[in-house]
Amino acid sequence: PKTPRERVDVLVIGGGQAGLAAGYFLRRAGAEFVILDERRRGGGSWQHMWPSLRLFSPARHNSLPGWGMPPQPGTEFPTVDHTVDYLRAYEHRYELPVLRPVRVTGVYDSGEELTVATDAGTWTAGAVLSATGTWRAPYVPAYPGTADFDGTQWHTASYPGPAPFRGQRVLVVGGGNSAAQILAELSTVAETTWVTRRPPRFMPDEVDGRVLFDVATRRLSGAASGVSELGDIVMVDSVREARERGVLRAHPMISGLTDRGAVWPDGAELEFDSVVWCTGFRPALRHLGPLRLSRERGRIPTEGTRSLEEPRIHLVGYGDWTGPASATLIGAGRTARTAVSEAIGGLGRKRPNAA
């Protein structure tokens, strides 16, 4: 796609599930649009996740708008490969105009239009939907001693599967689904210690990830406040099996790392060969830097999906702050629909603060 200075009404950055859902609604609205994605192949960040990962709800509850995820033979909770296949087929089915690999380096205000600079030329657009996810911005909390640790440190985003950990002493940090599934897997080949900031909250065995979506939706409408009483961790088979082996026991958070291991607030120390930080992600928004939009805890202030300071910018995906469960397959569609209708509705309208 060496097409410098091409113009479209709407430009979508990112061709993962959120960008594809946006593409579906843009196509349906007859908009002139393009989706730019820096990866060589479709499937967004799913193609980089570890092979044993299981989605936390059955296939039909992981569906983008228009066409549901087909069930995966032999397993209720789909695998990563199945998810990637679905996203690629979805892109193909709706003939979404995704150009790859094209990396967006910056979005600029060029007056009437937004200019989108990439490593394959420059586009201009009336509106930009940012759907770049969080995978490129892994978050590791700051603890004393992390630079001194002689072992290896990993993050959910770099977790390679269990092979390199065989026979090791491994510290797993974090209280969410990633930590629980990684712990479950590692504890079959390594001696694991699990630490969380507060006691982990397991969902009842009979409940799956569908309720996370329901709770996020109810919270938005004011019907539920605070965190879910149901828990955070979905008891997929591997996690249930780890509980039966007695390894699903969390300890209080460490106060820091040492050269050989970790130390706790009461002075206790343990030695480790590796630490796996399952401590989450931040929105990957560096490409919006040139617009100098303000940030609150890494997020751009929005009303719904639209940036408050630059209404031609719309954020799709990323998490509940752009729409209930917008970072999940089932939630991406609703957020994308809002963003597309606002983006198209705002086309040609001047910025409120423009002269």
**Per-position DSSP letters for 135-162, written without gaps between them:** TTSB-----TTTTT--SEEEEGGG---S
162 binds ligand FAD (CB under 6 A): no
User: Does residue 139 bind ligand FAD (CB under 6 A)?
Assistant: no
Closest approach of ligand FAD to the CB of residue 28, in Å: 19
**Contact between 284 and ligand FAD (CB under 6 A)?**
yes
Among the listed residues 250, 329, 340, 344, the single contact to ligand FAD using CB under 6 A: 329
Judged by CB under 6 A, the stretch of 126-134, 224-232, 250-258, 295-303 that binds ligand FAD is: 126-134
Minimum distance from residue 278 beta carbon to ligand FAD (Å): 8
Nearest CA to 104 out of 129, 139, 137, 135 is that of 129
Count of residues in the chain: 355
Q: Rounded distance, CA 10 to CA 18, Å?
A: 15
Instruction: Pick the stretch among 47-55, 64-72, 219-227, 257-265 that binds ligand FAD (CB under 6 A).
Output: 47-55
Residue 135 touches ligand FAD, criterion: CB under 6 A: yes
Q: Which two tokens stand for residue 347?
A: 């086309």
Distance between CA atoms of 328 and 333, rounded to whole angstroms?
9
- Which amino acid, one-letter code, is at 294? S
The answer to whether 314 and 334 have CB atoms below 8 angstroms apart is: no
**Interaction of residue 287 with ligand FAD, rule CB under 6 A:** yes
Distances (CA, A) of 121 to 39, 113, 163, 241, 298: 16, 16, 41, 51, 28
List 107's β-bridge partners, or say none.
Answer: 116
Shortest Å distance, C-beta 252 to ligand FAD = 23
Residue 334 within binding range of ligand FAD, rule CB under 6 A: no
37 near ligand FAD (CB under 6 A): yes
Kindly list the distances between the CA atom of residue 270 and the CA atoms of 43, 170, 224, 261, 267, in Å, as whole numbers in the listed order. 40, 10, 40, 6, 10
In terms of Cα–Cα distance, which of 340, 300, 311, 303 is closest to 109?
311
Shortest distance, CB of residue 245 to ligand FAD, whole angstroms? 21
Told to check if 261 binds ligand FAD by CB under 6 A, we report no
Task: Give the shortest CB-25-to-ligand FAD separation in angstroms.
Answer: 14
Nearer of residues 203 and 327 to ligand FAD, judged by Cβ: 327
Q: How far is the CB of 178 from ligand FAD (least distance, A)?
A: 4
Which residues bind to ligand FAD, rule: CB under 6 A? 13-19, 36-39, 44-46, 49, 53, 55-56, 62, 103-104, 131-133, 135-136, 156, 177-178, 209, 284, 287, 317, 327-329
